[in-house]
Structure 1
Amino acid sequence: MRAAISVIAEKGTAGLRMSDIAARAGMSTGHILYHFGKKDRLLLEVLAWSQADLWTRFQQAADQAASPAEKLDLFVRFYLPRHPGDERYALWTQVLTQHHDEAGRQVLTELLDGWDERLEAILREGRDLGQFTDVDLPEFTVRAVAMLSGLSEDVMFGRPRWQHASVHTFALSALERELRPTGQ
């Protein structure tokens, strides 16, 4: 899976060959084809594996967080790409541009919904503890994730506006402004 992510980040999906992944993983192309069948399935499987790994690391960090505000900070950190060549985010962009059958669309929907569910849980906890204002959770989540996705595109593209500013700080500040309880 790691070999596939690195090859996809380097070549994109258009130039991706199963033989490149096999060579990077130290396996035969037949072995890769046996397990995945075709490239589209491989990409979805790698994306699902990558997200499971990311969410495990996020949950471990969130379990150590002292407050919903710290969990929100972690959510933003884990959501945004780290740099323009971020392999995980490159994989997302490559997979999202492919045409998928119903089963593939279902996998992608579940992965995307996973981000929403994690954010809503943080918001609900913060609201219940009185640390966040009472917002419409689904509506706020849609706006927050849309903003983070747009900022992620800026990072992946390498927009110069982020050379001297932190995209993480910008995003977190925007979310916190809306979540700040009245009077604080």
Structure 2
Amino acid sequence: MRAAISLIAEKGTAGLRMSDIAERAGMSTGHILYHFGKKDRLLLEVLAWSQRDLWDRFQQAVDQAASPAEKLDLFVRFYLPRHQGDERYALWTQVLAQRHDDAGRAVLTELLDGWDARLAAILREGCDLGHFADVDLTEFTIRAVAMLSGLSEDVMFGRSRWQHASAHAFALTALERELRPAGQG
């Protein structure tokens, strides 16, 4: 998995070959093919591995956060690509563009739902503590993740609007505006 993600960062997914991964991992191409069958399945498995790693680091950061507002900030920071060539997000776009069987769709649905569940937990805590306005969690989560996904595409595409502005700050301001309890500036 580490060999594949490092090669994705170097070459992108289009130029990635199973033989390159095998060489980097110190394995035979046959061994890689035996475990994954084809490149599309390997990319899906690398994506799932990458997300588990990202969520572990996200959870560690959230466990240190002092408030739901800090947790929301972390969610946005971890969700958005770090830069135009972010390998994790490039992998997402490549894997989402593929056709998947039922098993592949189930993996992707679990990964996408994982983001929703993490955001909903932050929102629920913030609402329960009175830090956030009482919002429809499902509706807000759908809207927030859709906005973040659109911003992510902009960042990955290299839209000039994000060269001198922060997509993170933009997203956080939009979310906080809607979550501000009534009567607070």
Give the structure-2-normalised TM-score. 0.96
User: What residue in structure 1 maps to residue 28 of structure 2?
Assistant: 28
CA-to-aligned-CA distance 1:137-173 (integer Å, 9 cap, x gap): 0100000000000000011011111111111000000
Query: What is the aligned residue count?
Result: 184
Distance across 2 between alignment mates of 1:29 and 1:151: 37
Check whether the contact 1:18–1:29 (CA below 8 A) recurs between aligned residues: yes
Check whether the contact 1:9–1:91 (CA below 8 A) recurs between aligned residues: no
Distance across 2 between alignment mates of 1:43 and 1:13: 8
Distance across 1 between alignment mates of 2:39 and 2:71: 36
Distance across 2 between alignment mates of 1:167 and 1:121: 23
Give the structure-1-normalised TM-score. 0.96
User: What residue in structure 1 maps to residue 110 of structure 2?
Assistant: 110
User: What residue in structure 2 maps to residue 137 of structure 1?
Assistant: 137
* Cα offset, 1:46, TM superposition: 0.5
Distance across 2 between alignment mates of 1:160 and 1:24: 35
- Which amino acid is 2:174 matched to? A
- Which amino acid is 1:126 matched to? G
Check whether the contact 1:12–1:94 (CA below 8 A) recurs between aligned residues: no
**Where in structure 2 are the equivalents of 1:78-157 lying within 5 Å?**
78-157=78-157
Check whether the contact 1:72–1:122 (CA below 8 A) recurs between aligned residues: yes
Give % identity.
88
**Where in structure 2 are the equivalents of 1:30-69 lying within 5 Å?**
30-69=30-69
**Where in structure 2 are the equivalents of 1:165-184 lying within 5 Å?**
165-184=165-184
Please list every run of 5 or more consecutive structure 2 residues that lacks an aligned counterpart in the other structure. none
Distance across 2 between alignment mates of 1:128 and 1:98: 40
Shifted more, 68-77 versus 16-25: the winner is 16-25
CA-to-aligned-CA distance 1:90-129 (integer Å, 9 cap, x gap): 1000000000001100100000000000000000000000
Distance across 2 between alignment mates of 1:51 and 1:20: 22
Check whether the contact 2:12–2:87 (CA below 8 A) recurs between aligned residues: no
User: What residue in structure 2 maps to residue 74 of structure 1?
Assistant: 74
- Which amino acid is 2:156 matched to? M
* Cα offset, 1:10, TM superposition: 4.0
Runs of 4+ in 1 over 6 A off after TM superposition: none
Distance across 1 between alignment mates of 2:7 and 2:93: 14
Shifted more, 36-45 versus 154-163: the winner is 36-45
Check whether the contact 1:84–1:155 (CA below 8 A) recurs between aligned residues: yes
Distance across 1 between alignment mates of 2:74 and 2:62: 7
Check whether the contact 1:65–1:71 (CA below 8 A) recurs between aligned residues: yes
